Structure 1
Amino acid sequence: MLGRTLTTIVEWCWRHARLVALAALVLTVLLGAYAATHLDLDTDENKMLSSDLPFRKAERAFDKAFPQGTDLLVAIIDAPTTGEAEDAVNRLQERLAARKDLFKDVRRPPEELFFRKHGLLFLSTDALTELSDRLIQAQPMLGALSHDPSLRGMLGAVDMALEGISRGLMGIDDLVPLLAHLDEPAAAIADGISAPPLSWQSLFGDVASRDQPRRFLITQPILRYDDLVAGAQASEAIRQAARELGMTPEHGIRLRLTGQVALADANFSTVAAGVEISAPLSLLAVSLLLFFAVRSGRVVIAILLSLVVGLVATGAFAAATVGTLNPISVAFAVMFVGIAVDFAIQFVVRFRDERHRSGEDTPAMAATARGMAGPLSVAALATAVGFLSFLPTAYIGVSQLGLIAGGGMIIALIVDFTVLPALLALLPTPPEKSEVGLPLARLDSWLVRHCGAVVGAAGLLALAGLMLLPSLPMDFNPLHLQDPRDEAVSTFLDLARDPDNGSYAIDVLTPSQKDAQALADRFDPLPEVARTMTIDTFVPDHQDDKLAILQDLASLLGPTLSPASVLAPPSPEALIEALTATAAKLETVVGNDARAKALATHLRQVSLLGPKGVLELQQALTSGLAGQVDSLRQMLRAAPVTFADLPAEVRREWLTGDGRARVQVVPKADLEDRAAMTHFVKIATAIAPNATGVPISIEQSGQAVIHAFEQAGLSALAAIAILLGLMLRRWLDAILVVLPLVMGALFTVIGLVWSGIAINFANIIALPLLLGIGVAFNIYYVVNWRAGVTGPLQSATTRAVLFSALTTGSAFGSLAVSPHLGTASMGLLLFLSLGLSVLTTFILMPALFGLLARWRR
């Protein structure tokens, strides 16, 4: 019935080719216009997985409680000094805060500002006592530098120390640390090397370590998800403002962007750049292989035009069914072309084979319709069922892709039995002079003779793949899909190396402040935890003892740090004179000490370099001094901190208006290691099942995707088997279709383990495509076998399958050159698995047919 109906349709389209082509043109224009006006793009990655998953519910609850932590675009400013960094971040904040059209919020991290002001109260009593002793010992130098914050002032402090040595009040060993700090940059400049800035941590301890010349500015941009790069305008606004404010490398300031928005934008822009590279390569490869498959430029044009018609119609179907594409479902075009080109090649190769036999076009087209009605219909329906099996999964991106691709298979079938025959009639070609099939008779015979050994070896190899399945490499960290050299990625990884930044921290929403502290107390003893934070963390303990130390220190150092007058910056000539004088005094007082002698030599060499050399040394030695002294001066004015004293900005970060509280847990291990991340998430979720954060999202998303593909894969195989059994009416035929498909998948597992290609968010979407292609290939051979075709590898089907696989493989193989690591891995996986699947079909199918024939005899 189906064969007669499709044959009638094909013959009518063949005879009325012009009318069909015109109707197809009009319909394509109308459907294209509908798709263009009704099909949108939404690049919001949060919509890729079902919102009903437990971890997604926890994310929504936390984001609703603390919305200021969502969709962040973070600017990181590095400057030569803390003062310059502070000035730069404040100016940038003021400029961006005025852009209400681009930013919902622009703020400094409130925790950073709080700890800079009250940092000394968070030291232990012993550490604070040690710091106090060190500062009191350094009081003469602090006084000199506060009065003269220049290289001249520092050299004056050295001169004072040398005077103490000459009077026997101190020894040379007391001066060694200061000499070492001076000598490192002086030696570098003397040798013509750029001098590193002097670290003041040895003097100021944790004060310096907490106040490095780096500042953070947090923004919440207004995102435009209808654009491929949703935060592009906001990012460009930040960079433009920085340029206008002189915050450039030429002025010693480095600006970098990272955060969820920057990472997502970098991801999609890299994918787009990859498409610009791979698309021309893919088009060229597909066109060449199509030509070799059908041996005619006109037929290639007919196939490509039919693909365009089907693709536009599928786009209109997507607009009518889903309306909005996501970053996964946008791949429907790739899926459609990858399988629809196979249908077209099968149809055309069969037509040319029939025409070679009959020598006439019209009877050949009728025979093609009768011969391909069954195989193409079964293949299209089975492939559509496979794609539609992804509909009920929690992976929304692939669920939508399955719906669109499933509908696209039916559209491809309709186009191949209507538009393609009409185009072949309008673009006639001379008949073939030789057989369309491939000269593989000897291989056919060999596989039949050794069918038992071939099937047995394939079975053992498949068993090995099954055993390797648990060790299949998987990596669902989205950062690993991107180029690590990209600014947003490299900056995030740079920050992640320091646990204090909390890049891989997790957060837990608790009912109250008391519950938050109780939960933190459960996490604190764990060896996997570096630290925890709650709102109570901002109230330091043992304040009475610490405030007493600070009050004593302030009374002693206060006048020192706030001199009555500050000298004007010295001229380069004055600096040269001071360098020469200090070098002479070093030689006079401690000239017999090798360390002092080396410093004296280097100081003289710098002085000989003139103004440029001495100013560079001054920059290296004093660039961070003013900021450190100012920070110390502010911290010495510390007052008792109570819960009621906490700034509103800090309270808003850790408490909700209805009293719920946040707990942050920072891991100790490097969570770039997947095993460490898996272990940390397991430990954390056992204590707090509603925990959220980057590690939770990565692990739980990966598990959800794996479960979705397990569910869809098994249901797809079952549905395809049932469909084939009903349509082919022989369960043996259904098994013959599914068995090579499963074995090819297991061979792919071996290939992935051997090559080290990990399954990830990007390349996993190749699996539905491979399922569809594999089913189609196997169906052609089984239908031919039922029709009595012997020597399957010699048939025109093998030529069509081979070039179909090469066409699809080359199209996707071109993705391997993409700069986006995820896209490149998808190209590699498709190329590898498609090759193994086709090889399995070519080797296993003749052997299975031979084995069945032997058993029947």
Structure 2
Amino acid sequence: MRIEGIAVSVVDGCRRRAPFVVAGAILAAILLGYYVATTIAVDTDQEHLVAEDLPWRRTELALDRAFPQSKDDLTIVVDARTPLLADEAARRLAERLAARPDLFHSVRRPDALPFLRRNGLLYLSIDELRSLTERLVEAQPLIAAVVSDPSLRGLFGALNFFLEGVSRGEADLAELAPTLTAFAAAAESVAAGRPQPVDWQSLFTGRPTRPKDKRRFVMAQPVLDYGALTPGAKASAFVREAAAELGLTPANGYRVRLTGSVALSDEEFATVGQDMGVALAVTALLVALELFVALRSLRLIAAILVTLLVGLVATAAFATAAFGSLNLISVAFAVLFFGLAVDFGIQFSVRFRDEHYHYDDAAEALRRCARGIGGALVLAAITTMAGFFSFVPTAYVGVSQLGVIAGVGMAVAVGLNLTLLPALLALLRPPGERSPAGYAWMRGPDRFLARNASRVLAALVVLVVGAAALVPHLAFDFNPLNLKDRRTESMSTLLDLMNDASSTPYTAKVLTASPAEAATLAARLEKLPEVKSAVTINSFVPEDQDEKLPLIEDAAMLLAPSLSPPEVAPPPNPEEVRATIAETVERLDTTKDAAASRLAAALRKVLAAGPAALDRLSGILVGGASREIAALGEALQAGPVGLADLPEELKRDWVSADGRAVVRIEPQQDARDNAALVRFVAAVQSVAPEASGLPVSIQEMGRTVVGAFRTAGLLAFAVIVVLLGLILRRAADVLLVLIPVLIGGLFAMATCVLIDLPLTFANIIVLPLLLGIGVAYGVYYVMNWRAGVREPLQSSMTRAVLFSALTTGTSFGSLALSDHPGTAGMGVLLVVSLGYTVVAAMVFLPAALAWLETRRRRRAQAPDRV
């Protein structure tokens, strides 16, 4: 028995037993829905999207196992007005986070180790260190005054002493300009009621403070819930809550931002989820309107929606039973199911409307509908299933799982559209049709295509040649960071950090057997022009210590009396402080200098504001100076540093527990440029093939994805061709069926080149849907032509195809309005490709069918040749 005959038997049998079929389907949907709701889980771990047995994944996992503290990081960036305030803020925040082991596995401050505070001067160049020590010696009088009398009396007393030297011509006021300006700004802020700290580090060292100098990092490893859409949401929320409670807010001069792999992933999913909610509401309304225009019957619409819902639940139940949890790609099975299953429902229902117009008896209309469309639906479903199942053997686990679920979903969809849908129509009894379901006004286009088939196909050839010339220029953007919304905090922070080469995430890593081997490899890597630096644990042993230590020791010896005075003056009383500042104001007025006059005016305001203002001024001037001097005293205690002297807190990020060592390689060029990243990775792998890290994983992931889609595409194409050949038994018909998908895909890729839309990890998911829809549309037109339909654009099938495309385009096209670049790109590509597929199915395919029909007729009419 042919497929059409089987379809008629199934549809008629379900019609006659409609109450039992519908009741059984609804009961099964309820039970399966409960099973799904109580069992299904979503695995949001992106590392599970790719097979772990790939060489680059094995290398990446080995590095994660060697240094587990570097995995799943939440990087907290703390900015303040001065380096000391940033350091203090980061310390307080880290302590608050460390007190919550239920939210954080670990909390570290890699830039605040006591070892680095004590030996930090050794990491300066010799010229930088010499300049710094000279500047510190020049600041000795100010340092001595603050240490021996840590009060406004001592600070302004030292200033008065210097100003007296200026009045005698023994000192140059210009040398004091930065100090006068900083003091004036501080005093003005106190007088205005908004105290601003003084950057004492800049004053003591004579070097302007860079933004990165006023930035500190807290590295946290949060407890993640991979069953949630945003696994690190609880930890991130607590960080923000803690920062607010500690007063680390913009109003107080602080900025606390979150980035790192956890924050980037969480904010991406949150953004997509918000966009999806809005898109879903708009889409549901538009799709409902389109279905009503297509079917003109609420009963038909209800039947299709119930069939869709039951099929979706059944497919979800299979996915739950087969895999337990869905990954971030396979969860899209619901989207694919809707896009393709609604096509089956529309095709069946529109054909039923057309048959119901000709036959008042609904039973007869259903039988004729099954005979007319059943075979095409089954063939479309089979070929679409073959396309999805072709993704199963690929290493891209996310798409492989999606292929299995979507393939089974197609079987479920076509099965329900030939069983449950006719049963629902039998129960709901939609009224008879008053007019044909087709488009009578398409008679003109039908005749035009038939009469001008050769010209239409010639134009198609020209377009195909032009499109084919563009396709080689199609780019694949393999960098997933380019798919993220740059306005989110995590991404904008990451971009900010990328401006500093020392904090770029685009670093390659190589795991070696020992620190000695790491040092040897680093030396080889640093000879490459694409490499800026190769850092190992050995890099933390300062160079030129024989020259640097004497400079530090000399400075420490000269500053020792100032840092450790024999006695410290007792705290002054308010009158002494006011008298000292009044003297300062008087001396400043005599200089006739702009900076001095500014400070004098500000100090008058502070004096007029009363004792509380003086206390606040003391806090930001004397308090800040005292903390900076204490840090200076610790830095001047530096001693010889060897590999054995490095602390364990530092070593564990560079040497694993079993003694293996990592090399961290920074690119010479900006690796945000994909071409530069490719050159960097190629250069590093030429020396160290086992390299991993973000640049390597980005590129290898791109190769894996492209390879998976290439393999699946070729396999799907081959399987579909074989299946079509076995069923249609005509090579020409097989080629005709493939016209929409081939032309739609070719023109879509050419358009991507023209509008500068590269393929990405996100929008490449559109290709399986395009494959299914394109083949289905081709099957519908070819099967109808074989059934004798010679004016396809006027038939109910074209109405079904058009509205199927509209509902699918509306469903996914709304994604183009998303703020998320990856989601928006997916929507754009789908709308473009779907549009071309529909044009190919409704214009070029009928033209090709008419052209072949004309050739066959002419051959049949030609006289036999002897």
CA-to-partner distance for each residue in 1:49-69, whole Å, 9 max, x for gaps? 111222211101111111111
The answer to whether the 8 Å contact 1:481/1:822 transfers is yes
SS at match of 1:391: coil
The answer to whether the 8 Å contact 2:118/2:636 transfers is no
Which residue of structure 2 lines up, in the alignment, with residue 528 of structure 1? 530
Q: How far apart, in 2, do the equivalents of 1:435 and 1:814 lie? A: 31
Which residue of structure 2 lines up, in the alignment, with residue 123 of structure 1? 124
The answer to whether the 8 Å contact 1:349/1:436 transfers is yes
SS at match of 2:230: coil
CA-to-partner distance for each residue in 1:622-659, whole Å, 9 max, x for gaps? 77544432221111011111111111122222112333
Which residue of structure 1 lines up, in the alignment, with residue 66 of structure 2? 65
The answer to whether the 8 Å contact 2:578/2:607 transfers is yes
Q: How far apart, in 2, do the equivalents of 1:437 and 1:611 lie? A: 90
The answer to whether the 8 Å contact 1:533/1:664 transfers is yes
Taking the TM superposition and a 5 Å limit, the aligned residue runs for 1:92-131 are 92-109=93-110, 113-131=114-132
Q: How far apart, in 1, do the equivalents of 2:191 and 2:222 lie? A: 48
The alpha carbon displacement at 1:128 in A equals 1.5
Q: How far apart, in 2, do the equivalents of 1:507 and 1:448 lie? A: 63
Which residue of structure 1 lines up, in the alignment, with residue 459 of structure 2? 457
Q: How far apart, in 2, do the equivalents of 1:281 and 1:570 lie? A: 71
Which residue of structure 1 lines up, in the alignment, with residue 832 of structure 2? 832
More displaced stretch, 87-96 vs 303-312? 87-96
Q: How far apart, in 2, do the equivalents of 1:332 and 1:691 lie? A: 35
Change (3 A) 1:706 1:551: same
The answer to whether the 8 Å contact 2:724/2:734 transfers is yes
Q: How far apart, in 2, do the equivalents of 1:568 and 1:490 lie? A: 47
The answer to whether the 8 Å contact 2:98/2:106 transfers is yes
Change (3 A) 1:818 1:502: closer
Change (3 A) 1:528 1:138: farther
Which residue of structure 2 lines up, in the alignment, with residue 214 of structure 1? 215
The answer to whether the 8 Å contact 1:391/1:400 transfers is yes
SS at match of 1:200: helix
Taking the TM superposition and a 5 Å limit, the aligned residue runs for 1:132-171 are 132-147=133-148, 155-171=156-172
Which residue of structure 2 lines up, in the alignment, with residue 388 of structure 1? 389
Taking the TM superposition and a 5 Å limit, the aligned residue runs for 1:328-347 are 328-347=329-348
Of 545, 549, 559, which residue of structure 2 is paired with 1:543? 545
Query: Which amino acid in the other structure matches residue 465 of structure 1?
Result: A
Taking the TM superposition and a 5 Å limit, the aligned residue runs for 1:729-768 are 729-768=729-768
Which residue of structure 2 lines up, in the alignment, with residue 554 of structure 1? 556
More displaced stretch, 335-344 vs 578-587? 578-587
Taking the TM superposition and a 5 Å limit, the aligned residue runs for 1:705-784 are 705-784=705-784
Q: How far apart, in 1, do the equivalents of 2:211 and 2:798 lie? A: 69
CA-to-partner distance for each residue in 1:264-306, whole Å, 9 max, x for gaps? 1112222222222111112111111111111111111110000
Query: Which amino acid in the other structure matches residue 470 of structure 2?
Result: L
Of 562, 565, 568, which residue of structure 1 is paired with 2:568? 565
Change (3 A) 1:646 1:37: same
Query: Which amino acid in the other structure matches residue 494 of structure 1?
Result: D
- Confirm whether residue 255 of structure 1 aligns to residue 276 of structure 2: no
Change (3 A) 1:810 1:668: same
- Confirm whether residue 419 of structure 1 aligns to residue 420 of structure 2: yes
The answer to whether the 8 Å contact 2:537/2:661 transfers is yes
Q: How far apart, in 2, do the equivalents of 1:575 and 1:493 lie? A: 48
Q: How far apart, in 2, do the equivalents of 1:552 and 1:75 lie? A: 38
Taking the TM superposition and a 5 Å limit, the aligned residue runs for 1:26-425 are 26-109=27-110, 113-147=114-148, 155-182=156-183, 198=199, 200-201=201-202, 203-204=204-205, 212-249=213-250, 251-425=252-426
The alpha carbon displacement at 1:358 in A equals 2.2
SS at match of 1:366: helix
Which residue of structure 1 lines up, in the alignment, with residue 863 of structure 2? none
Q: How far apart, in 2, do the equivalents of 1:128 and 1:79 lie? A: 25
Which residue of structure 2 lines up, in the alignment, with residue 667 of structure 1? 667
The answer to whether the 8 Å contact 2:195/2:620 transfers is no
Change (3 A) 1:618 1:449: farther
Taking the TM superposition and a 5 Å limit, the aligned residue runs for 1:586-625 are 586-588=588-590, 590-591=591-592, 596=596, 625=625
Q: How far apart, in 2, do the equivalents of 1:440 and 1:616 lie? A: 84
Which residue of structure 1 lines up, in the alignment, with residue 862 of structure 2? none
Change (3 A) 1:533 1:202: farther
Query: Which amino acid in the other structure matches residue 824 of structure 2?
Result: A
The alpha carbon displacement at 1:156 in A equals 4.1
- TM-score (ref. length: structure 1): 0.93
Cα RMSD (Å): 2.9
The alpha carbon displacement at 1:620 in A equals 7.1
Change (3 A) 1:434 1:634: same
Change (3 A) 1:434 1:609: farther
More displaced stretch, 495-504 vs 60-69? 495-504
Which residue of structure 2 lines up, in the alignment, with residue 688 of structure 1? 688
Change (3 A) 1:157 1:761: farther
Query: Which amino acid in the other structure matches residue 54 of structure 2?
Result: L
Q: How far apart, in 1, do the equivalents of 2:533 and 2:273 lie? A: 40
SS at match of 1:435: coil
Query: Which amino acid in the other structure matches residue 733 of structure 2?
Result: D
Change (3 A) 1:447 1:641: same
CA-to-partner distance for each residue in 1:747-776, whole Å, 9 max, x for gaps? 111222233333222222111111111111
The answer to whether the 8 Å contact 1:73/1:259 transfers is yes
Q: How far apart, in 2, do the equivalents of 1:443 and 1:117 lie? A: 84
Q: How far apart, in 2, do the equivalents of 1:566 and 1:840 lie? A: 92
The alpha carbon displacement at 1:463 in A equals 2.6
The answer to whether the 8 Å contact 1:448/1:851 transfers is yes
Q: How far apart, in 1, do the equivalents of 2:360 and 2:572 lie? A: 99
Q: How far apart, in 1, do the equivalents of 2:152 and 2:293 lie? A: 77
Aligned length: 854
Which residue of structure 2 lines up, in the alignment, with residue 444 of structure 1? 446
CA-to-partner distance for each residue in 1:631-689, whole Å, 9 max, x for gaps? 21111011111111111122222112333211111224333333332332222222222
The answer to whether the 8 Å contact 1:332/1:405 transfers is yes
Change (3 A) 1:628 1:843: farther
SS at match of 1:654: coil
CA-to-partner distance for each residue in 1:17-53, whole Å, 9 max, x for gaps? 1111011111112222333344321111001111122
Change (3 A) 1:641 1:493: same
The answer to whether the 8 Å contact 1:89/1:217 transfers is yes
SS at match of 1:162: helix
Query: Which amino acid in the other structure matches residue 303 of structure 1?
Result: I
Change (3 A) 1:77 1:150: farther
- Confirm whether residue 792 of structure 1 aligns to residue 795 of structure 2: no
The alpha carbon displacement at 1:210 in A equals 10
Q: How far apart, in 1, do the equivalents of 2:464 and 2:200 lie? A: 61
More displaced stretch, 517-526 vs 800-809? 517-526
CA-to-partner distance for each residue in 1:344-383, whole Å, 9 max, x for gaps? 0000000111111223211111001111121101100000
The answer to whether the 8 Å contact 2:94/2:108 transfers is yes
The alpha carbon displacement at 1:728 in A equals 0.8
Q: How far apart, in 2, do the equivalents of 1:499 and 1:204 lie? A: 24
The alpha carbon displacement at 1:483 in A equals 2.3
The answer to whether the 8 Å contact 1:81/1:624 transfers is no
Query: Which amino acid in the other structure matches residue 278 of structure 1?
Result: A
Identity in percent: 47
The answer to whether the 8 Å contact 1:499/1:668 transfers is no
CA-to-partner distance for each residue in 1:422-459, whole Å, 9 max, x for gaps? 11111122211112112211122222333223222222
SS at match of 1:653: coil
The alpha carbon displacement at 1:309 in A equals 0.8
Change (3 A) 1:798 1:198: same
The answer to whether the 8 Å contact 2:545/2:640 transfers is yes
The alpha carbon displacement at 1:583 in A equals 4.4
